[in-house]
Amino acid sequence: MLEQTLRILRNELWKAFYETAVMMGISFALSLVLGLLLGFALYLTETGAFFKNRALNSIASGIVNFIRSIPFIILVVFTLPLTFYLVGTKIGPVAASVPMTIAATVFLARLVEGGLKEVDDGVIEAALATGARSLLIVRKVLLREAAPSIARAVTVVFINLIGCSAMAGMVGGGGIGNLAVQYGYYRYETGVMVFTIVVLVVIVQISQHLGDYVASKFTH
Amino acid sequence: MSEIIKFDNVEVEFTRGSERFTAVGGVSLSIEKGEFFGIVGASGAGKSTLVRTINLLQRPTSGRVLVDGRDVTALKGRELSALRLKIGMIFQHFNLIRNATVFDNVAFALEASSTPRAQIAPRVVDLLRLVGLEDKIRLYPGSLSGGQKQRVAIARALANKPEILLCDEATSALDPDNTAEVVEALKRIKESYPITVVFITHQEQVARSLFDRIAVMDKGRVVEVGYAYDIFAHPKSQPARDLVARAADYELPREVLEREKDLFLLTFKEEHAYDAVISEVARRFGTDLSIIAGKIDYIRHKPLGVLLVSLRTVSERKRQEVLAYIRERACITEYKGASNA
C-alpha cells in the first residue's frame, strides 16, 4: 500500500504542484492588485472627505455582493464562457485561475474596505487639515494605518485561494487538491489523500505565520 | 491690529435621522491677527464645531467665515488645500499617524505643500528642535508620552508656516505635567513667531495662563467676549461665572461652611490687587473680617486677587457700610459654597 502511494505520488505530485503553483500564482497576483484597487475604490467612493460618489459606490458594491453570493464551484461553471474568451480554453490551471481571480478579488476588496474603515477618523481629519490632497492621504495615511489589517486580509484571501484551487482542480484545473480528490476519494488511495492534507496544512501554516509576521512588521 | 478671522452669523446644523440639531447658532465674532484667542465653554457648547468651520473640516449650514478678508465657505479642491496649508491644527487626541515615525508625521505636512524633497529633512529637524524633540525623530508615536505626541502634532501643524493655529482641546487629554509642557511649548512659539492662535478648552487653568481674549460659548452661542482678565475679574454671563467659579473652588471643609454664615468672594483687579483693603476695613469700621481662603493669580502677567472672607459680629447697618466700602474697591459676590459659587 505504501509502495502504491509512493508510486502515485512520484508520477503525479510534481505535475500537481506545478498546476497549483500556476493557479495560485496567477490568481493571487492578479487579485492582490485588483482587490486592493477595488477595496480602495469602495472605501473612497463612500467617504465624504474623498471621492464620494453614491452611484459608483452602489454599482461596485452590488457587483461585489453578487459575485460573493455565488458558491465558488458554481462560479467556476458560470464563468466558463468568459474563461474561454479570455484564455482560449476551459480546462487546465490557467483557465481555473480566471474564476479564482474573480472570487479572490471581490473577497479581498471587502476585507480591504473593512480595514480602511477602521482607520481612526481623527487621523484622517488631521491629514485633511494639513491641506494634503486625497492621493497623498491615501498613500501616506490610509495605506500605512491600514497596512496591518490589509496584510491579514491578504493572508486570509491566500489561504482561501488554496481551498478554491482544490475545487477548481476538480473541474479541470488539476493541482494538489485534485490529486487528493482523484486518488484519495475516487480510488480509495487514503495514503495519497493523507499526504496531500499534510502538504496543504504545511502550506497554510507557513502562509499564516508569514502573514502574521508581515502584519506585525507594519504595526507600531 | 486687523482681523484675521471673522465669523458672520455662522450656523451649523446636523441632521440625525429626522431630528435637526443646531450645534452652532448664529455666531458672529472677530479674531484679531496675532491674538491668543480662547474659546471656552462646557462640552457640547459647539466650540469644536465652530472652530472647524475655519478650515472647513465642518462646512457651515449658513453664514460666512472670512479668513484674511476672504469668504472661505465655498472653497473646494485646490483652493481648499491652499487655505488649509495656511492653517495648522492640533487635536485633543493628537491624531498622529501611528504607523509612521515622528519624522514621517512631520514630513507629511511638508509633502502636502509639495515641498522639494531636499528641503524636507532639514525642515523637519528644525521643527522638531522648535518643540524640543529632535532626539525622538526615528521613534514611532506609540513610544512617546502624551505631551511629546502633542508636541509632534504642533511641529506638524507649524510645518508650512501657517498664519493661524487651531487647537481643539489640545491639553484636555493630558495630565497636569504634560499640559504644562504643551502650554510652555505654545507660549514659546507664540513669542518667537507671529501667529494667531485659536484655542478651545474647558480647562480654566489653561485659559488663565494663555489667552489674550476669550469667547465664552453656551448651547451653540457666544454669550460673552472680552479680554481674559476682564472675564476672570468680572464675568457677566452665567457660563463665564461658572468657569471662574471653578477657579474659586476652594473645597472648604463642611464645618467651615456651616460655621461661617456670611461669606463673600472678593475679586481685586490690577491696581487694587495689592491694596490692603482688609486691614483698611478693620481699622475704619472697627470690625473683624476673617479671611477663609484666598490667592493672587496672574493672568497674562496682571495680578488678580481673590479672597474669601467672612463678616463676623457686625450689625446690619455696619454690614451694609462695609460692603459698600469694599464694593468701591473690588468685585464682591456672596459665596454659597463651592458647587454654586
> Could you read off the pLDDT of A51-101 as tens digits, one per residue?
888 999 999 999 999 999 999 989 998 999 999 999 988 888 899 999 999
**B259 pLDDT above the threshold of 80:** no
In this structure, the answer to whether residues B71 and B93 fall within a common structural domain is yes
How many domains does chain B divide into?
2
Nearest Cα residue to B95 out of A119, A200, A161: A119
Nearest to B99 among A122, A131, A218 (CB): A218
> Could you read off the pLDDT of A112-136 as tens digits, one per residue?
999 999 999 999 999 999 999 999 9
CA gap A35, B297 in Å, rounded: 61
Question: Among residues B213, B237, B261, which one ends one of the domains?
Answer: B237
Average pLDDT over every residue of A40-44:
95
How many domains does chain A divide into?
1
**pLDDT value for B118:** 92
Segments forming the whole domain that contains residue B218: 3-237
Q: What is the domain-level CATH number for residue A194?
A: 1.10.3720.10
Nearest to A131 among B84, B99, B166 (CB): B84
> Could you read off the pLDDT of B44-95 as tens digits, one per residue?
889 999 999 999 999 999 999 999 989 999 888 889 999 999 999 999 999 9
Strands B263-269 and B331-334, by their bridges, are: antiparallel
Complex ipTM, two decimals? 0.84
Question: Quick one: closest CA in A to B141, which residue?
Answer: A220
Exposed / middle / buried, residue B281 (Cβ in 10 Å: 0-12, 13-18, 19+): buried
pLDDT band at B340, cuts 50/70/90?
very low
Whether the CB of A48 is below 8 Å from some CB of chain B: the reply is: no
In this structure, the answer to whether residues B233 and B280 fall within a common structural domain is no
* A123 vs B contacts (CB less than 8 Å): 95-98
> Could you read off the pLDDT of A129-185 as tens digits, one per residue?
999 999 999 999 999 999 999 999 999 999 999 988 888 877 777 888 888 888 888
Q: Are residues B99 and A126, on separate chains, in Cβ contact within 8 Å?
A: no
CA B275-B280-B285 angle, 5° bins: 155
Residue to mutate among A47, A119, A130, A133, with most B CBs inside 10 A, is A130
More confident: B337 or A16: A16
Question: Quick one: closest CA in B to A220, which residue?
Answer: B99
Contacts across the A-B interface (CB distance below 8 Å): 83
CA gap B195, A101 in Å, rounded: 55
Q: Are residues A129 and B93, on separate chains, in Cβ contact within 8 Å?
A: no
Region label for B123, one of left (φ > 0), alpha (ψ between -120 and 50) or beta (otherwise): alpha
Q: Are residues B95 and A131, on separate chains, in Cβ contact within 8 Å?
A: no
Residue A124 distance to chain B (closest CA, Å): 8
The pLDDT > 70 percentage for chain B reads 94
> Could you read off the pLDDT of B6-45 as tens digits, one per residue?
999 999 998 888 888 889 988 999 999 999 999 998 888 8
* B341 in any annotated domain: no
Whether the CB of B129 is below 8 Å from some CB of chain A: the reply is: no
Residues 6+ apart with CB under 8 A from A174: A15, A16, A19, A20, A92, A93, A96
In this structure, the answer to whether residues B277 and B194 fall within a common structural domain is no
In this structure, the answer to whether residues B221 and B92 fall within a common structural domain is yes
> Could you read off the pLDDT of B73-82 as tens digits, one per residue?
988 888 999 9
pLDDT band at B315, cuts 50/70/90?
confident
CA gap A145, A195 in Å, rounded: 40
**pLDDT value for B299:** 78
Q: Are residues A136 and B112, on separate chains, in Cβ contact within 8 Å?
A: yes
In this structure, the answer to whether residues B224 and B253 fall within a common structural domain is no
**A4 pLDDT above the threshold of 90:** no
Residue A137 distance to chain B (closest CA, Å): 9
Grid cell, residue B249, equals 473652588
More confident: A21 or B324: A21
**pLDDT value for B337:** 60
CA gap A13, A178 in Å, rounded: 11
Q: What is the domain-level CATH number for residue B276?
A: 3.30.70.260
Question: Quick one: closest CA in A to B109, which residue?
Answer: A130
